[in-house]
A and B are shown apart, each in its own frame.
Chain A
Amino acid sequence: MSFDLGFTTDQTTITDLFNSFFSNESRPEVARAAEPLGFDADLWQKTLALGVAGMAVPEANGGGGASLSDAVIVAEAVGAALAPVPIVEHMVAARTHPITDLVEGAALGTIALTPAADGRWSFVPAGAVADIVIGVDGGDIVAVRSTAPGVAPRNHACQPLAHRSSRDGDRTVIGDASSFERVVAEWKTLTASTLVGIAQRSLDMGVQYVKERHQFGVPVGSFQAVQHGLADIPGLIDGSRILAHKAAWASQPDVAQTIEPEFNEYTDFSVVASMAFLFAGEAAVHATDRSLHFHGGYGFSEEYDIQMYYRRARGWRLIAGDPRNEYVALADKMFGDN
């Protein structure tokens, strides 16, 4: 027996713990009430009480020592619940810069996905609420502590986005810009997983709806046109989930990093993370599109939850920029920069 595509006992425990936590504490009305900012301070405090802040930071740095694979599981639960808390961003920030404030959660951290231009990071995820932003400015990775604006421009995905200064505030150089790709790969891996959570919950809601909704005297879900529109989605979701977990596995130091398109073999962390992010993004867009459509007119109404999933599926993947650039960068890694 070679590989193992199942979860460890610990991971099953993490799955159950977070799903049950979010189903109690982050019901859809919580995500709805947190709009348009997309952040719930009370829920964040409750999340911190679970030990999430430093969970995926090595024990040597005072963290919980959980792996990126474990964090992937948490991220899927966040996506499934649309939990209005920046767990993914904070986890990546704390792993990158494991200072006490971030590991313990006294300060909320995030990362800027694109380098600063003229001292400003644009569209920083969780930038509206983060105390510390980590990103590239020139040739350095810097961590800047400054006052969070607390408000975000109203946006499609209800993301607490903000532009943040890379110069003003308590600024610390923490590394060389060349090592930031790995940080972004961690964010892509975890965000891929939140998109898996969005896609899975959207599919589940759509299936539930078409079983209950009757037209022409029968459940809508008994029509083959509807069934087939939904039947494509499980493969997309499962493929995305396996890719996200493969990226987390590939991030381990003992995994040889390979890129072999002719053998269809990839174990390079940044390549697999990029694949996971792009594929899960498409899967979430497709799953929410189908699920909303099969809700009929109700799917379009604010009262139903599927529209919240629909908007976030699009927004959470576009925060990283034009996906075509991501495809181009990926092709350059796979086939050489031409």
Chain B
Amino acid sequence: MDFTLSPEAIAYRNLVRSIIADTVTDEAIEDIHRTGTFDLPALNFALAKHGLLERAVPGMGKGDPIELWILFNELEKAGAPYDGIAVSLMIAGVINAVGTDQQKHRIIPSIVSGEAGVCMGYSEPDYGSDVASIVTRAVQDGDQWVINGAKMWTTMAHVAKWLILLTRTDTDLPKHRGLTMFILPMDTPGITVKPVHTMASEHTNATWYDDVCVGDEAVLGEVNGGWRTMTVALAFERGVMGGTNQGVPLLTHFAKWVKQVGLASDPAVKVELAKAAIDMHVSTLLTQRAAWIAASGGLPGLEGSMAKLFATEAYQREVHSFQNVAAQPGLLGFHEDGAAAEGFIDYDARHSPVTTIYGGTSEIQRNNIAERHLGLPRNR
């Protein structure tokens, strides 16, 4: 195996780092944690200005999956907000893969210019991991589709320009076959957005759809082919586009703090630091492998599952370990006098639980690995 980054990849990484240094300021980070909207337009525009958003659209052929990995890996390590662009770029990739020419021309440029974000309407109040059972209905009425239902966890719906929406179009077909995906503007009449506040300060949303009318131009992929469109998106997402190296900023803050307070010489603390650092590095290597498989023309769905499963569980172990070491100062939040690791232990302890839930729970990843990698019998 050769782990050498090409000079082009190093130049690309340095450019990403300099854009982050210019835009992801302490004030910006503070603002994001205060509002709970993990999206930073100044960062998005700066990436767009250098053409990096366009290059990062998966499958579009402008940049390779290695670049995509480097981009999100650098954003994660810097603690930069990437939730918004990760979804937007992924959906741009889906539109590129299954969309009409008109959709490609109308939507992709607005995303890669950094002006428009996309939010995802997949999960529903009653259907999360079992997303193929969703009940939001789209019914054809002449040349219109009329959509009614409700979605949960529509993160960024309050700022996004576009919505990708999974609906049921045929109730007679088996559950995976009666689904259709739509892409529509968020300002389409009939959409209601209400905030859902989370314990990690992150602002997500619940959304309602009351007689939302769109034409065929909003159908993304085939009618009743929504599941296939979903799978394209998932293959892009798992492993490569963030969510697999979130413990690195905490490690940096924590290592600094233990030095400041004189805990760094304690061998037990050193053991915890080294274990966390190894786990973080394995997380990135598993992600790097998924990117390499994608760059070699493969679909790293399974390897992405392994990376996501390991990385998110490792992140939670790290937080637990550092919480124990920091004890009371680790309970203190941002800006509190004497807060360990500048309040990041409190933040990451609030944030890390969601990482084994979203993007496919750990149990869904284990099902995937057990059935497709180990060849064990399907049991659902």
Contacts and interface: CB of A to CB of B under 8 A. Distances in A.
B277 A334 contact: yes
Contact of A235 (B1, B5, B286, B296): B286
A328 B271 contact: yes
Contact of A331 (B3, B66, B271, B282): B271
Interface in B50-84: 64, 66, 73, 77
Contact of A3 (B3, B273, B303, B375): B3
Interface string B311-350: 0010000000000000000000000000000000000000
B255 interface: yes
A239 B245 CA distance: 14
A231 interface: yes
Given A3-B292, A231-B369, A261-B255, A332 B270 contact: yes
Interface stretch (A151-159, A182-190, A242-250): A242-250
Given A236-B310, A239-B285, A279 B278 contact: yes
Contacts of A227: 366-367, 370-371, 374, 376, 379
Contact of B1 (A218, A245, A330): A245
A84 interface: no
A334 B5 CA distance: 22
A234 B376 CA distance: 14
A4 B1 contact: yes
A245 B285 CA distance: 11
B19 interface: no
A275 B278 contact: yes
A211 to B, nearest CB: 7
A331 B270 contact: yes
Contact of B5 (A2, A6, A219, A262): A2
Contacts of A60: none
B379 A4 contact: no
A221 B374 CA distance: 10
Interface in A203-228: 207, 210-211, 218-219, 221-224, 226-228
A146 interface: no
Interface in B241-295: 245, 248, 251-252, 255, 259, 264-265, 267, 270-271, 273-275, 277-278, 280-282, 284-286, 288-289, 292, 295
Contacts of A327: 270-271, 274-275
Nearest to B306: A235
Contact of B295 (A1, A218, A222, A262): A1
Given A69-B1, A232-B366, A211 B288 contact: no
Interface string B344-380: 0000000000000000000101110111011111010
B150 interface: no
Indicate the member of A210, A226, A228, A234 with the most B CB atoms within 10 Å. A234
A248 B363 CA distance: 34
B2 interface: yes
A102 interface: no
A338 B261 CA distance: 12
Interface string A319-334: 0000010011011101
Nearest to A259: B277
A261 B251 contact: yes
A124 interface: no
A176 B369 CA distance: 49
Contact of B376 (A230, A239, A264): A230
B64 A328 contact: no
B6 interface: yes
Given A221-B377, A249-B2, A330 B282 contact: no
Contacts of B85: none
Main secondary structure of the interface of B (DSSP, over half): helix
A255 B1 CA distance: 13
A266 interface: yes
Contacts of B375: 207, 211
B309 interface: yes
Nearest to A325: B267
Nearest to A279: B278
A335 B3 CA distance: 23
Contacts of B277: 261, 264, 275, 330-331, 334
B21 interface: no
A224 B274 contact: no
Contact of A246 (B285, B369, B379): B285
B307 interface: yes
A223 B66 CA distance: 37
Indicate the member of B267, B277, B280, B296 with the most A CB atoms within 10 Å. B277
Contact of B281 (A224, A228, A230, A266): A266
Contacts of A238: 286, 289, 303, 306
Contacts of B371: 227
B374 A234 contact: yes
Given A275-B278, A335-B255, A4 B289 contact: no
Contacts of B73: 264
Contacts of A223: 379
B9 interface: yes
Nearest to A220: B376
A5 B289 contact: yes
A262 to B, nearest CB: 5
B285 A324 contact: no
B257 to A, nearest CB: 12
Nearest to B73: A264
A331 B259 CA distance: 13
A291 to B, nearest CB: 12
Interface of B: 1-6, 8-9, 64, 66, 73, 77, 245, 248, 251-252, 255, 259, 264-265, 267, 270-271, 273-275, 277-278, 280-282, 284-286, 288-289, 292, 295-296, 303, 306-307, 309-310, 313, 363, 365-367, 369-371, 373-377, 379
11 contacts: A2-B4, A69-B1, A222-B379, A228-B367, A238-B289, A242-B286, A264-B284, A275-B278, A327-B274, A331-B274, A334-B277
Given A3-B1, A264-B248, 16 more contacts: A2-B4, A3-B66, A5-B292, A6-B1, A6-B292, A207-B375, A222-B379, A226-B376, A227-B366, A228-B370, A231-B365, A242-B285, A263-B248, A275-B281, A278-B274, A335-B273
The 8 A-B residue pairs with the shortest CB-CB distance, nearest first, are A331-B270, A227-B370, A338-B264, A235-B306, A231-B366, A239-B282, A327-B274, A245-B1
